[in-house]
Homo-oligomer: A and B are copies of this chain.
Amino acid sequence: MKLRIIVTLKPGVLDPQGKAIHKALDGLGFAGVEDVRQGKLIELDVADDTDDATIDAMCRKLLANTVIENYRVERA
- Mark interface residues in A37-73 (1 if CB within 8 Å of B CB, else 0): 1111111111101100010011001110000000000
The count of identical subunits is 2
A25 and B33 CA atoms in complex are apart in Å by 37
* Cross-chain contact of A45 among B33, B42, B50, B58 (Cβ < 8 A): B33
Tell me which residues across on chain B come within 8 A of A24, comparing CB atoms.
62
Q: Mark A15-35, 1 if CB is under 8 A from B, else 0.
A: 000100100110010111111
Given A34-B45, A36-B43, A39-B43; A28-B63 close (CB under 8 Å): no
Contact between B41 and A41 (Cβ–Cβ < 8 Å)? Answer: yes
CA distance A35 to B32 in the complex (A): 38
